Amino acid sequence: MLSALPPVSDSAVLVGTSTADDAAVYRISDELALIQTVDFFTPIVDSPFAFGQISATNSISDVYAMGGHPVIAMNIVGYPRDNPKAPLSALGDILKGGAQKAAEAGVSVVGGHTIDDNEPKYGMAVTGFVHPDKIWRNIGAKPGDHLVLTKALGTGIIATAMRAQKADSDVVSSAVASMSLLNEAAAKAAAQFAISACTDVTGFGLLGHLREMLHDELDAVLDLSKIPILPGTHELARAGFVPGGSRRNLTSMQDVFSVDDGIDDVEQVILSDAQTSGGLLIALPEAEASTLVSHCKDAGLAAAVIGGVSAGVGKIRLRSSL
């Protein structure tokens, strides 16, 4: 809990614990600031190599979400010492997958730390750089801004079905491809515009991370028809393959979230679905939003303008169409 941490008094800390931002930022000079982030989790796919790719992509994403470029990373590993169901060869494949994605991002993996753990875990501590005047934060959106989402939703629901071996192979393939796609192209496209606020969509779902962006000063309206959803997500959610965390996310939003008539619970829980390695959620001026989406689509991303923000008190409304 951030509230349990002591207040930060170092003036060189430009982004710390005062907000639920994606990473910490520390000023080195007037021209350079350091970004630091860490993330790890348990396997969500059967393939050790794919798991390594996804976890590394997820860890590196927070640097992109701050407007920076990642440079080095250190592995974080928990792995059983003596378990025939988890041979060391599988750990090697996990690390190879992570190294492959790090190399794609131009990140050098310079070491790490491993502990004996009954359940495998893998992630990275990632360091990057950003100009102190060009930091993107998850607050700062302005009334009139539009919201752009750069990846489709649904990975939590699909991963739940995957664990039960109830997801079709094409559904699994699209989800794995999304989770292992770096947010580098989206960040590079966004860097050409006047970004007001940015975050990546992960464990709190789209609604939870948007709520942090609004920061009790703005309201948001989302257009359900414009929000990209991974293939198979609706069908699997209706079949009951919804993570407990996604349902808790939706419950936590009840005081600030409203929907138009005719929007059912499945649509709502998809917007609360706890994502792994999700896309960037970006607030920027209305006049620039559609151009950003075009640039993202040129890079092969499933980007869309999904709504907008106005002055308010932190409320979110979901409409079937704007």
Same domain, 117 and 152: no
Q: What is the pLDDT, as a whole number, of residue 85?
A: 84
Contact 278, 219 (CB under 8 A): no
Which of residues 130, 163, 188 is at a domain's end?
130
114 and 211 share a domain?
A: no
- Residue range(s) defining the domain that contains residue 52: 2-130
pLDDT tens sequence across 152-174: 999 999 999 999 999 999 999 99
The pair of structure tokens assigned to 99 is 């190294």
- Bridge partners of 129, per DSSP, are 34, 69
55 domain-assigned: yes
- Single-letter residue type at 321: S
Looking at the structure, do residues 157 and 296 belong to the same domain, yes or no?
A: yes
Residue 82 pLDDT: 86
Tell me: do 191 and 100 sit in the same domain. no
The residue assigned the tokens 């936590």 is: 252
Which contiguous run of DSSP H or E holds residue 214? Answer: helix 205-214
SS3 183: coil
Confidence of residue 9 (pLDDT cuts 50, 70, 90): confident
pLDDT tens digits, one per residue of 78-137: 999 988 888 999 999 999 999 999 999 999 999 999 999 999 999 999 999 999 999 999
Is 138 domain-assigned? no
Q: Are residues 85 and 160 in the same domain?
A: no
DSSP, collapsed to helix, strand or coil, labels residue 318 as: strand
Q: Where do we find the tokens 């959803």?
A: 229
Residue length of the chain: 322
pLDDT (average), residues 237-263: 95
- Judge whether 224 lies within some domain: yes
Give exposure, 220-258, as e/b (b: 16+ Cβ within 10 Å). bbbbbeebbbbebbeebbeeebbbebbeebbebbeebbe
Whole-angstrom Cα Rg for the chain? 19
Strand order in the sheet with 108-116: 13-15, 24-27, 33-41, 121-130, 69-79, 108-116
3-state secondary structure of 297: helix
How many domains are contained in the chain?
2
User: What confidence score (pLDDT) does residue 234 get?
Assistant: 97
Q: Which amino acid is at 166?
A: K
Residue at which a domain ends, from 79, 106, 130? 130
Give the dihedral of Cα atoms 260, 262, 263, 264; nearest 10 deg: 140
pLDDT of 248: 97
The mean of the pLDDT values for the chain is 95
In a domain, 137, yes or no: no
d(C-alpha 145, C-alpha 283), whole Å? 6
Residue 56 and residue 94: Cα distance in Å, rounded? 10
Would 160 be classed as within a structural domain? Answer: yes
120 in a domain, yes or no? yes
Task: Please indicate, yes or no, whether residues 227 and 120 belong to a single structural domain of this protein.
Answer: no
- For residue 256, the model assigns a pLDDT of 96
Please answer whether residues 224 and 313 qualify as being in contact, where contact means their C-beta atoms are separated by less than 8 angstroms. Answer: no
Domain membership flag for residue 141: no
Residue 1 has pLDDT above 90, yes or no: no
Pick the last residue of a domain from 103, 130, 157. 130
Same domain, 271 and 156: yes
Taking alpha carbons only, the member of 75, 117, 73, 111 closest to residue 94 is: 75
Q: For residues 216 and 83, state if they share a domain.
A: no
Model pTM?
Answer: 0.95
177 and 97 housed in the same domain: no
Q: DSSP string spanning 48-79?
A: HHHHHHHHHHHHHHHHHHTT-EEEEEEEEEEE
State whether residue 92 is helix, strand or coil.
helix
Q: Is 8 part of any domain?
A: yes
Q: C-alpha distances in angstroms, 267 versus 116, 224, 238, 303, 308?
A: 40, 8, 10, 19, 19
- The percentage of residues in the chain with a pLDDT greater than 70, rounded to a whole number, is 98
Residue 294 sits in a domain whose CATH number is 3.90.650.10
CATH assignment at residue 39: 3.30.1330.10
Checking if the pLDDT of 2 tops 80, the result is no
pLDDT at 65 (0 to 100): 98
Q: Is 321's pLDDT higher than 80?
A: no
Q: Both 171 and 313 in a single domain? A: yes
pLDDT at 322 over 70: no
Q: Are residues 121 and 232 in the same domain?
A: no
Same domain, 12 and 100: yes
Nearest to 18 by CA among 3, 35, 34: 3
SS3 for 180? coil
Name which of 63, 255, 231, 268 is nearest 152 in CA terms. 231
